[in-house]
Each structure stands twice: as C-alpha cells, then as structure tokens.
Structure 1
Amino acid sequence: MNLPPIRTVAQAIRSATEVLGPRTDSARLDAELLMAHSLGVSRSQMFLQHMGDGVPEAFAGFVERRAGHEPVAYIRGQQEFFGLTFLVTPEVLIPRADSETLVEAALSARPDAASVLDLGTGSGALLLAVLENLPGARGLGIDRSAGALAVARTNADRLGLSDRTDLRQIDWTVPDWDRVLGRFDLVLANPPYVESGAELAPDVRDHEPAGALFAGADGLDDYRRLVPALPELLAPGGVALVEIGATQAQSVCALGAAAGLQSTVHRDLGDRNRVIAFTFSLGNGPRNA
C-alpha cells in the first residue's frame, strides 16, 4: 500500500485513518494503536512526546495488514483485558470487553474461592484475570489446542501467576473428559457459541480460530457437552460462570435446569444477556441480575 508522502507521526496517523475508514468503524483508534506499536511506546506517550517525530518504517506494513482486516490485536500481538495485558496470537480468540462481565460475576459470586477451573482457556485471559484478583486461589485451565496452551503459559509467566496456574491439554468432546479434574469453587467457560451459518465480520471470520467460534447449527453444541458436566465439577457452594450469545439465555438455562442447576443471567454493559451463573440450588427458572 502506498500512503501519501508524510513526514511526521501526526500526518501519518491522519493519512492511515483515511485509508482505514472504509474498512473499520475504529479507523482513528486503529491508526493510533498501530503507530504507538511501531514506535514501541504507549499511546499516551506517543501523544505527549512523539507526534512530531519521523514515521517508523514498520507503520505502513501494519496499516496494510489492518486494511486487509487483520485484527489490531494480532498485529500488535497483545490485547488489554480487565486491566491486564495479554499476549495474543491467531491460535487464540482475542479477549473482548464483554467477557469482563464474566470475571466481575465470578469475583462477586465467590470472593473467597480457593480453586478455579477454566474450560477452554485460550489465552488464559479469564482464568488469569480471576487469579490476579484472588491471591489465595489456584487455577486449572484446559484447552484442546496445544497452541492456545502455549500462549496461556506465556501469559501466566508474564503476569507472575505460573506458580498458581496448571494448564492441561484436554478435549471435552472425548468421553469422560471431566473425570480427572476434581471439584472447584469457581468454574469459568467461554465456549464456542456461534451458529455455523452465521455471518461474521471478516476480522473475525478470516482471522480468529474457527474451532473457538462455531458450535453447530444453533450454536449450542458445546453447551450440551459442558453444562451437564457442571454438577460433577462444582464443589459445595461452587458457582459456574458461562458466557453465552445474546439470544441463547433461555436455551442454556434449560440445559442447566435439566442438570439440576439454578440459573442467574448477567447482562453486559450493552444490556445484552452475556453470562449465566449456575449453582446447585434448585429454583423456578432464570432471573436477571
């Protein structure tokens, strides 16, 4: 991609914003993040100290990649989540702000938790964010992807949490996958829940791992495997927090009821159904929180 002649960081950001405008709703932010990454500084440092500097050679290549719909997080190799910075690669889903609802619900439900299980840990974002805020807890993260587990291990090391984190390659589509795990005060899960025929933005469809996105014709295949296993994974007083798609609350709550679990639905900042909290106590169906 040939950007117009430019001499300063400020000019390059303006030019890149024009290039990216037809391709993303966050063109200016994307350009700023990519420039800061090119400079090797934070975005705030860039604004304060570098707007008149010359343009790093790498910037044009980063803009070209973004124009091809590659997510900014993969270009930068990192994503912020719940106040922490996580390494991300195309082996893992990019942690999203909506998923912070799950972390908040988990910390509120069991601030005394000593044991945490993360089903499908990916980058480790959910598990490590919870452990960072529960200094007395230990965690186990499972994933079928060796590549994802390598990313999660790196994140645990970078955050100083590897001594409290166990990561194992386990596939929940294999019979008796859950028999060796034990029971936990908190169980976390953000499983695949996108319908196989759903239309997705090219940033997601063409770049994020399909195995972590799609879950059958109705998007419920993985809930049908995971939710019935929860009673054997929860310690007395334990809580399972499961992320869902915005239209899936009724179906996933019904799976919980069939397993003898009570459901509480939590909404995200956009007022969409986002997380279901499952507990042992039987009730009269889901209630909103």
Structure 2
Amino acid sequence: MTVADAIRTAAEHLSTTSDTARLDAELLMANVLGVSRSLMLLTRMRDEAEPHLAVFENLVSRRAVCEPVAHLLGVQEFFGLEFAVTPDTLIPRGDSETMVQAALDAAPADARVLDMGTGSGALLLAVLHHCPSATGIGIDSSAAALDIAAANCKRLGLAGRAQFLRASWLEEGWADRLGAFDLVLCNPPYVETDAVLDPDVRDYEPAAALFAGPDGLDDYRAIVPQLGKLLAPGGLAIFEIGATQEEAVTGLARDSGFAVTMRRDLAGRPRALLLR
C-alpha cells in the first residue's frame, strides 16, 4: 500500500463523520511522515505506507469518532502562525482572524493590549507579532490554558512582550492591578446552553469557554460594564460575537456608553464588535 492508497482508504472511512475527510486524511498522514502536507503531495505519495500505517490508522480511528484534527496534530494555524492547542483551550478558528485584522487596523504601534480569555494566546500573540512595539497581558481562569499560552508565546519569540495571568472577570477585584489598555480583545463564551453543536466541538473543547447561559449573553453582561476601568483614553475594545448576537450585544454596549461598529467575517456574517 502506498501513501496515496492509505490516504484514499482513510478518506473513505472518514467521509461518514467529516465534511473534510480527504483533507483530514492528508494532514494526518503528513504529520506521521513528519513533512508538510504540500511536500507530501509533491514527493511522498508513491512511498510505501507500511512503516507508518499503524500510527496513521490510530489517528484516523480517533478522527472517525470526531476528535478534532488540531488535537490530533497538537497544533493549529491562525493568522499565519502556528499555535499549540490541547483540550484545555478552544481551537483558534479563521472567523476570529476578523478580530486580529480589526485590531491591527486600529491599534497604535506601541499599544498595550489585554486579551480576556486568552486560551491558546492566539489573539494576543498574533497582534504582538504584527506590532513589534506592542506589549500585552493575557488572562484566563484556566491555569492549564495559561500554560499553553505561555508556551506559544515562547515558541513565537514573544516572551519578553507578554504576560499571562490567572483571572476571572466574574470575580470581584480581578482587574484592580492590570492598569489601562489601548486595546482590549475578548472572545468570550457566547454559545447558548442548549445549543446543538458539532460533536468535535461539544465533546472535545472546554465547555467553560463555550457556554454562556440560556441566550449566550451572560459573559457580555459581566464584561461590558467593567470596560471603562480597562480602557485608556481613546482605547478600543473588540469582541467576537455569534452570528445572531449583533443587536443584543450592541444594545448592552450602548447602554454602557459605548459607540459600536461591526466587522464581518469572510463568510459575510457579523463577527466582531468594536467599542469606543
């Protein structure tokens, strides 16, 4: 059996549970071979698969029960950078790149940045990578997530410019020592408690980072009224929202005195709210 044969067989097996079965199989095989997918497709498809088959088939079996590809690989690309991910963090998604681009369009070169609910650190570290004079703090209530974020920070060469602190915006006094920021980024939990999710999200990503009450708005209600003490004069806060939440979160923000503009993601859906 060649590498091409193994990929074809795996893709057929995965097609009942994954909409990206062929891509999944290619990514898993490239990982097993220790090469990039593009190099594998160009140079390795006729290689014998047998030396790698047991490891590959194990990964395919795990993917067949909806374990995310990012967890199987241990990494996820986001805004052109590679981030380590584990089940302790949300997997960074392309939709959230809308927030990073909005931040880069607006942030001063030497911005001080706060990332609330930092998870893998993807939002903060992507901004710092593209703003060489910026510095920042990432907070999260999960110590395990903070360990992942700090490791990503180090591997991206940003360790001198970012701190990661354990804090929860649901606890009194959580922001007392943080100071003020030119830019606040927040991708909070915003999924309704009874929402139907794909099994690779529902069964494998941290519930505490997903669910936010019956209408998905609990964390916005907690955070927005506290923004005044976090933003420096002229500062900007950027929130990710669900595709149907623009009106509700805009209302919460305006009730707290903010002017609001919206950015759409590449699919044309409302994705980021900018609060000033």
Q: Is the structural similarity TM-score above 0.5?
A: yes
State the Cα distance separating 1:255 from its structure 2 match: 1.1
Q: Which runs of 4+ in 1 moved over 4 A?
A: none
Match of 2:239 in 1: 242
Match of 1:128 in 2: 125
SS at match of 2:212: coil
The answer as to whether partners of 1:132 and 1:161 remain within 8 angstroms in 2 is yes
Q: What residue ranges of structure 2 are gaps of 5+ in the alignment?
A: none
The answer as to whether partners of 1:113 and 1:186 remain within 8 angstroms in 2 is no
TM-score, length-normalised on structure 1?
Answer: 0.93
Match of 1:78 in 2: 75
State the Cα distance separating 1:12 from its structure 2 match: 0.5
The answer as to whether partners of 2:264 and 2:272 remain within 8 angstroms in 1 is yes
Q: In the aligned structure 1, how far is the partner of 2:40 from the partner of 2:103?
A: 36
The answer as to whether partners of 1:113 and 1:185 remain within 8 angstroms in 2 is no
1:91-102 pair list within 5 angstroms: 91-102=88-99
1:218-237 pair list within 5 angstroms: 218-237=215-234
Letter in 2 for 1:72: V
1:1-289 pair list within 5 angstroms: 7-55=1-49, 56=52, 57-279=54-276
The answer as to whether partners of 2:120 and 2:152 remain within 8 angstroms in 1 is yes
Letter in 1 for 2:234: G
- Over the matched positions of the two proteins, sequence identity in percent amounts to 58
Q: In the aligned structure 1, how far is the partner of 2:214 from the partner of 2:174?
A: 24
State the Cα distance separating 1:176 from its structure 2 match: 2.1
Q: In the aligned structure 2, how far is the partner of 1:69 from the partner of 1:233?
A: 39
The answer as to whether partners of 2:109 and 2:132 remain within 8 angstroms in 1 is no
Q: In the aligned structure 2, how far is the partner of 1:258 from the partner of 1:176?
A: 22
SS at match of 1:117: strand
Return 108-117 or 245-254, whichever deviates more: 108-117
State the Cα distance separating 1:229 from its structure 2 match: 1.0
State the Cα distance separating 1:113 from its structure 2 match: 4.2
State the Cα distance separating 1:111 from its structure 2 match: 4.0
State the Cα distance separating 1:258 from its structure 2 match: 1.4
Aligned residues: 273
Measured against aligned partners, the alpha-carbon deviations of 1:125-153 in whole angstroms (never above 9, x if no partner) come to 00000000010011100000000000001
Measured against aligned partners, the alpha-carbon deviations of 1:206-258 in whole angstroms (never above 9, x if no partner) come to 00000000000000000011111111111111110100001111111111111
Measured against aligned partners, the alpha-carbon deviations of 1:172-214 in whole angstroms (never above 9, x if no partner) come to 1111212221110110000000000000000000000000000
Return 21-30 or 108-117, whichever deviates more: 108-117
